[in-house]
Each structure stands twice: as C-alpha cells, then as structure tokens.
Amino acid sequence: MPAYILLSRLTAVSERQILATPDTLKKVRQVLEEWEANILADFHLLGMYDHCTIFEVSDNFRAQKAVLELEITRSPGTMLLPAIDLPLFQRMIGQEIRTVGPHEWQVKWWAKVIRLCFRWYQYDRWIWKYCKPLITTGKQHLKDIKGPCIVIGNHTSHFDALVLFSCLPQKIKWNIYFGAAADRWFLKGGGGRKELPLQPWYNSLIGGSFPIRRGGGSATLDYSKWLLDQGANLAIFPEGTRSTSHHMARFKHGVSILALEKNVPVVPVYLTGLAKIRPKGSRNIYPGPVQAHIQPPILLPEGTSVPDATRMIYHAVNRVHERVMEHGPDAGRHDWRG
C-alpha cells in the first residue's frame, strides 16, 4: 500500500489545547484511522515541524486524499508527502517491473483438475491447522444459483481468501477465481523472489487467481467480465484492502459494475475471527474460532445506478457487521434475531 508522511506545526491555539487536554495529540491519528489508514509510526519532533505521522492507506486513495487534505492539511504549517520504502525503491530502479497474466488457460478442465488435486496444499491444510473450529452458516442460499455469481467478503486478514473459498459448496468453488493485486502476485519472474506462491503461473493455476491492476481504470474489469462470460464465479473483497479498524471501509464500485452489466447475483459472506488469527502487519498465525456466514444473494434491479448499487451492497454487509460488533460472532448469521 502507498505510504505517506504527514508533517505538521502546532499553532498557538493548538499548543494551548494540548496543554489543557494532552489527548488532543491523538486527533491526527484518529482521523487517519477513520479513513482506514495503517499508522506505521508517530513522532513528536524537535525542529521545524512539531509532529510526524507515517501511515499507509488503500491504493484507491484519490478520494480519501482529498478528504484528508480537508480534514488535516487546512493549516499552512502542515505538509503531506508520498513516500516509498527503500527496498522497493531499490528494486524499482534496479530492474524493469512488469506484470504478467491473466492466463486464460486457468478455466480449462485440466487446470481445474490440477487445482482440485492441490486443494489440500493450497487451502485445506491451513483451515485444518488454524481455524479451530470453522463454522459455516447459510449454505442453503446458494442452492438456487444456477449461473455465475460474485462472492464478496469483508476483509481483515490474509486468511480471508482461504476461509471464503473453504466455506463455499463444491459447485461454486470448482469454478471460482479470486482477484489479486498484480503488483504483488503477478510480477514477472516473481519480482526476483523465489517463493513458489509468488510465481504468477502458480497463482493462476493452483490459487485460481487473476491479476487486478490497482488504479488501472475500467480496463481492469475486462478479464473479470470475460470470466463471467465463461460461466465462472468470482470472489472479490470490495473494500480493496484489509481493514485495520472496527469500521468497514468503503466499497469500490467494481462489484456493482460487474453485477449490473452481466446481471449476476452478489453473494455476501461475513467472516469473523480472522483478524485475530492473522492480524494485519503480523507474520504470526494464532489458531482460533472462525465463522463464515453466507447471506442471501443480492440481485440488483435493472436500471440501478452504479453508486446506488454499491450502497445497496455495502449496507447489506454493514448491517451484519454492526450486529457482530454489538452482539458477537454469532450475530453474523442471516437469521439471527438476538
């Protein structure tokens, strides 16, 4: 994710507020976290500027940046700077970075058979080892789906895709494909990294993934549309990045555009417990209980605008999210009554 450095100087009024209420120093952090920023470091400075906050944000940052500038940088003593970590900068200037894919052969029968043979290695062993237990509800909602669909989930952990896949019935996951960031999972030659899961062919064949070029405009959806035309199912996390707060991030419009253009249902799945198993920013994995609650499919009415469709999908998932935040994981069930 892009990193930013926020430098600020305190005004005389701000200094008096801080002396009276020291917690005022946390205001910048609170605003950033409300916009799903991941705070990397926070410093009080002894120099030209008084405060420095280093944070990461989601890639589709244009709208968020505009809001942040209104919220934070109205003071002339504040500066917002984009940043890039040194190892990545060294790689960028030291080699030509190219992405590869998508690979249309991943929908062939032989690719599906190979993927099935590797299912234990790619998915099930992780679920068996760390999701203790994995409880799935609402599978009956998928019985009447005859054609392709778009499965969506809330996003809090790298484990989300594993659980989302595992909770689905065989008829869906036999032919489902996950969108993945091209600049991470589909770098030519693995971006110089030798790990097997970082090789593009492996992600297409074994992981059933396809590259999404972040910030790539409408052309980014071309392959997704092609997959739906082939009768394939898609799995997408419409928040775009893993959430670091108790609030769901705003949904991107991609799911709505696909669902409206191809007239396919959207199936929300609400996942709980995964932020504790593999917290964002951590390489450690902690076994624990996980739940996957499949919600009723959403079929968008013809003529619905894309923004309205996105709001409909978001509110359907956010209602479940708010119940879970108030009442616990069991409240994620579609039939929960309290």
Q: What is the band of 32 on the pLDDT scale with cuts at 50, 70, 90?
A: confident
**257-287: pLDDT as tens digits:** 999 999 999 999 999 998 888 776 667 888 9
Sheet holding 288-294: strands in order across? 131-137, 288-294, 266-272, 150-153, 233-236, 176-181, 209-212
Look at residue 230 and give its three-state secondary structure.
coil
**191-216: pLDDT as tens digits:** 666 677 778 999 999 999 999 876 65
**Burial class for 294, CB neighbours closer than 10 Å (0-12, 13-18, 19+):** buried
**67-77: pLDDT as tens digits:** 565 555 555 67
Q: What percent of the chain has pLDDT over 90?
A: 48
Would the pTM count as exceeding 0.85? no
In our burial notation (b when 16+ CB lie closer than 10 A, e otherwise), range 69-106 reads eeebbeeeebeeeeeeeeeeeeeeeeeeeebbbbbeeb
Q: Given this model, what pLDDT does residue 231 score?
A: 96
Beta-strand pair 3-8/51-56: antiparallel
CA-based Rg of the chain, rounded to a whole angstrom?
22
Average pLDDT, the chain: 84
Name 180's Cβ contacts closer than 8 Å, sequence gap at least 6: 186, 203, 207, 209, 210, 211, 212
**215-241: pLDDT as tens digits:** 656 678 999 999 999 999 999 998 876
CATH homologous superfamily for the domain 3-83: Ribosomal protein S6/Translation elongation factor EF1B (3.30.70.60)
Domain residue ranges of the chain, discontinuous segments joined by +: 3-83, 104-332
What average pLDDT score do residues 119-138 get?
94
3-83 and 104-332 agree in CATH topology: no
CATH 3.40.50.1000 fits 104-332, yes or no: no
